[in-house]
Amino acid sequence: MAFVPQLLFFLVLAFAAFIIRSRVLRIRDNIRLGKANPVNDRSGERWNNVLLVAFGQKKMFKKMIPATLHFFIYAGFLIINLEVLEFVIDGLAGTHRIFAPYLGSMYNLLMNFFEFLALAVLLACVVFLIRRNVIKVPRFRSPELTGWPLLDANLILITEIVLMSAIFTMNACDQLLQVHSEHYTATGTLFFSSFLMPLFSNLSQDALHVIERSAWWFHILGILGFAVYVTYSKHLHIFMAFVNTYYARLEPKGQINNMPVVTREVKSMLGIAPADAAPAGEPGRFGAKDINDLTWNQLAAAYSCTECGRCTAECPANLTGKKLSPRKIMMDVRDRMEEVGNSIAKGGKGLQDGKFLLDTYISREEINACTSCNACVEACPVLINPLDIILEMRRYVSMEESGAPAQWNGMFQNIETSFAPWKFPPSDRFKWANE
Amino acid sequence: MNVPTLAEMTAKGESPEIVFWVGCAGSFDDRAKRVTKAFVKILQAVGTKFAVLGPEETCTGDPARRAGNEFLFQMQAMSNITVLNGYQVKKIVTTCPHCFNTLKNEYPELGGTYEVIHHTTFINELIREGKIKMTGTSGFQGRKITYHDSCYLGRANNIYEAPREVLEALDADLVEMKRCKTNGLCCGAGGAQMFKEPEKGNKDINIERAEEAINTGASTIAVACPFCMTMMSDGVKNKEKEGQIVVRDLAELIVERQGL
- Determine the Cα–Cα distance for residues B225 and B95; give it in Å rounded to an integer: 7
Please tell me the number of Cα atoms within 13 Å of A375 on its side-chain side.
31
For residue B30, tell me if it sits in a domain: yes
Tell me the mean pLDDT in the region A63-84: 90
Q: What is the CATH number of the domain that holds B239?
A: 3.40.50
Strand partners, B147: B222
Q: Is residue B82 part of a domain?
A: yes
Q: What pLDDT score does A283 carry?
A: 63
Search chain A and give the residue with CA nearest B35: A432
Q: Do B185 and A426 touch (CB under 8 A)?
A: no
Which structural domain range is residue B148 located in?
136-258
Residue A94's pLDDT is 86
On whether the CB atoms of residues A306 and A234 are closer than 8 A, the answer is: yes
Q: Is residue A85 part of a domain?
A: yes
Cα B57 from Cα B53, distance rounded (Å): 5
Q: What is the pLDDT of residue A180?
A: 80
In terms of domains, do B18 and B110 share one? yes
In a domain, A289, yes or no: no
d(C-alpha A266, C-alpha A260), whole Å: 10
The per-residue pLDDT for A82 is 81
Q: How many domains does chain B have?
A: 2
Q: Say how many C-beta atoms besides its own lie within 10 A of residue A321's C-beta.
A: 13
Q: Check whether residue B163 and residue B60 sit in a common domain.
A: no
Q: Return the SS3 of A299.
A: helix
| SS3 state at B221 | strand
Angle of helix A326-345 relative to helix A4-31, nearest 10 degrees, comes to 110
Is there a single domain that holds both residue B102 and residue B143? no
Residues 6+ apart with CB under 8 A from B153: B97, B100, B118, B120, B159, B160, B163, B224, B225
Does position A281 have pLDDT exceeding 70, yes or no? no
Does B166 fall in a domain? yes
Question: In this predicted structure, what is the pLDDT of residue B180?
Answer: 97
Q: What is the end-to-end Cα distance of chain B in Å, rounded?
A: 13
Query: Cβ(A262)–Cβ(B71) under 8 Å?
Result: yes
CATH number assigned to the domain comprising residue B37: 3.40.50.1860
Instruction: Quote the pLDDT of residue A275.
Output: 53
* B80 plus B173 within the same structural domain: no
Q: How many domains does the structure of chain A reveal?
A: 1
Nearest-CB residue to B152 (from A254, A397, A422) = A254
Same domain assignment for residues B149 and B102: no
The whole-angstrom separation of Cα A252 and Cα B140 is: 35
Whether residue B46 is found in the same domain as residue B107: yes
Q: What residues contact A338, with CB distance under 8 A and at least 6 apart?
A: A30
Name the closest residue on chain A to residue B71, using Cα atoms: A262
Q: Decide if A252 and B158 are in contact by the 8 Å CB cutoff.
A: yes
Residues 6+ apart with CB under 8 A from A430: B5, B27, B52, B54, B55
Q: Is residue A58 part of a domain?
A: yes
> Nearest CA of chain A to the CA of B171: how many Å?
30
The whole-number pLDDT of residue A220 equals: 87
Q: Number of Cβ pairs closer than 8 Å across A and B?
A: 215
Integer Cα distance of A206 and A211 in angstroms: 9
Classify residue A320: in a domain, yes or no: no
CA A267, distance to chain mean position in Å, is 41
Best of B6, B33, B70, B228 to disrupt the A interface by mutation (most A CBs within 10 Å)? B70
Whether the predicted pLDDT of A274 surpasses 80: no
The rounded mean pLDDT for chain A is 93
Q: What is the pLDDT of residue A280?
A: 56
By C-alpha distance, which of A382, A329, A340 is closest to A59? A382
Distance of CA A277 to the CA centre of its chain: 41
Residue B149 belongs to some domain of the structure: yes
Does one domain contain both B65 and B89?
Answer: yes
Q: Tell me, yes or no, whether B147 and B232 share the same domain.
A: yes
- Say whether both B106 and B205 belong to one domain: no
Structural domain contains residue B129? no
A316 and B182 within 8 Å at the Cβ level: the answer is no
SS3 B117: strand
The answer to whether B68 touches A397, Cβ cutoff 8 Å, is yes
**Predicted pLDDT of residue A1:** 59
State whether B163 and B183 are in the same domain: yes
> Cβ of A319 under 8 Å from any chain B Cβ?
yes
DSSP helix, strand, coil percent of chain A (3-state; round to 5): 70, 0, 30
Interchain contact, B27 vs A254, CB within 8 Å = no
Give the DSSP H/E element, type plus range, for residue A411: helix A406-418
- A116-138 pLDDT, tens digit per residue, is 999 999 999 999 999 999 998 89
**pLDDT score of A25 more than 90:** yes
The shortest C-alpha distance from B73 to chain A (Å) reads 9
Q: Which helix (H) or strand (E) holds B91?
A: strand B91-94
- Does B130 reside within a domain? no
Q: Which A residues 263-282 touch B at CB under 8 Å?
A: 263, 265-267, 269-270, 272
All residues at 6 or more sequence positions from B176 whose CB lies less than 8 Å from its CB, including other chains: B146, B147, B216
Among B61, B156, B203, beta carbon nearest to A254: B156
- Nearest residue to A220 via CA among A6, A33, A3, A1: A6
Residue range A312-331: mean pLDDT, rounded = 98
Do B182 and B155 meet the contact criterion of CB atoms below 8 Å apart?
Answer: yes
Do residues B143 and B236 both lie within one domain?
yes
**A143 is a domain residue:** yes
For residue B18, what are the CA distances in angstroms to A394, A407, B23, B163? 35, 35, 15, 20
SS3 A361: helix
Q: Do A399 and B67 touch (CB under 8 A)?
A: no
Q: How far apart are CA A288 and CA A337, in angstroms?
A: 14
d(CA A400, CA A395): 8
Minimal CA separation from A261 to chain B, in Å: 10
Q: Looking at B70, B95, B124, which one is the last position of a domain? A: B124
Q: Is A92 inside any structural domain?
A: yes
Give the CA dihedral B239, B243, B249, B250, nearest 10 degrees: -120
Residue B146's H or E segment, with its range, is strand B144-147
SS3 content of chain B, % helix, strand, coil (to 5): 50, 10, 40
Residue B238 lies in a domain: yes
Q: What are the strands of the beta sheet with B18-21, ordered from one edge?
A: B50-52, B18-21, B91-94, B115-118
Identify the pLDDT of residue B78: 96
At A330-341, the pLDDT tens digits run 999 999 999 999
In our burial notation (b when 16+ CB lie closer than 10 A, e otherwise), range A384-396 reads: bbbbbbbbbbbbb
Domain shared by B253 and B141, yes or no: yes
User: How far lies A263's CA from each of A65, A178, A258, in Å?
Assistant: 47, 75, 8
Gap between the Cα atoms of B141 and B123, Å rounded: 20
Residue-level pLDDT, tens digit, chain B, 260 residues = 899 999 999 999 999 999 999 999 999 999 999 999 999 999 999 999 999 999 999 999 999 999 999 999 999 999 999 999 999 999 999 999 999 999 999 999 999 999 999 999 999 999 999 999 987 777 888 899 999 999 999 999 999 999 999 999 998 999 999 999 999 999 999 999 999 999 999 999 999 999 999 999 999 999 999 999 999 999 999 999 999 999 999 999 999 998 88
Contact B185 A375 (CB under 8 A): yes
Which residue range(s) make up the domain with A32? 4-245
What is the ipTM for the molecules in this complex?
A: 0.96
**Which of A321, A396, A399 lies closest to B201 in CB terms?**
A321
Q: Write the DSSP symbol of residue B3.
A: -
Helix (H) or strand (E) holding A175: helix A148-178
Strand partners, B145: B174, B220
- Nearest C-alpha neighbor of B91 from the set B115, B123, B127, B121: B115
Q: Measured between CB atoms, which of B63, B68, B110 is closest to A421?
A: B63
The model's pLDDT over A423-433, given as tens digits with 9 standing for 90+, comes to 999 999 999 99
**Alpha-helical runs (H) found in chain B:** 6-11, 23-28, 30-46, 62-66, 70-86, 97-101, 119-128, 154-157, 161-169, 205-214, 226-238, 250-258
> Cα(A173)–Cα(A217) distance, rounded to whole angstroms?
14
Q: Please tell me the distance from the alpha carbon of residue A320 to that of residue B175, in angstroms, as a whole number.
A: 24
Neighbours of B47 (CB within 10 A): 9
Nearest to B77 by CA among B112, B104, B28: B112
**Minimum mean pLDDT range among A152-156, A212-216, A363-367, B85-89:** A212-216
On whether residue A174 sits in a domain, the answer given is yes
The DSSP code for A184 is: S
Q: What is the pLDDT of residues A33-70, one digit of tens each?
A: 999 999 999 999 999 999 999 999 999 999 999 999 99
**Which amino acid appears at position A307 of this protein?**
E
Tell whether A237 is covered by a domain: yes
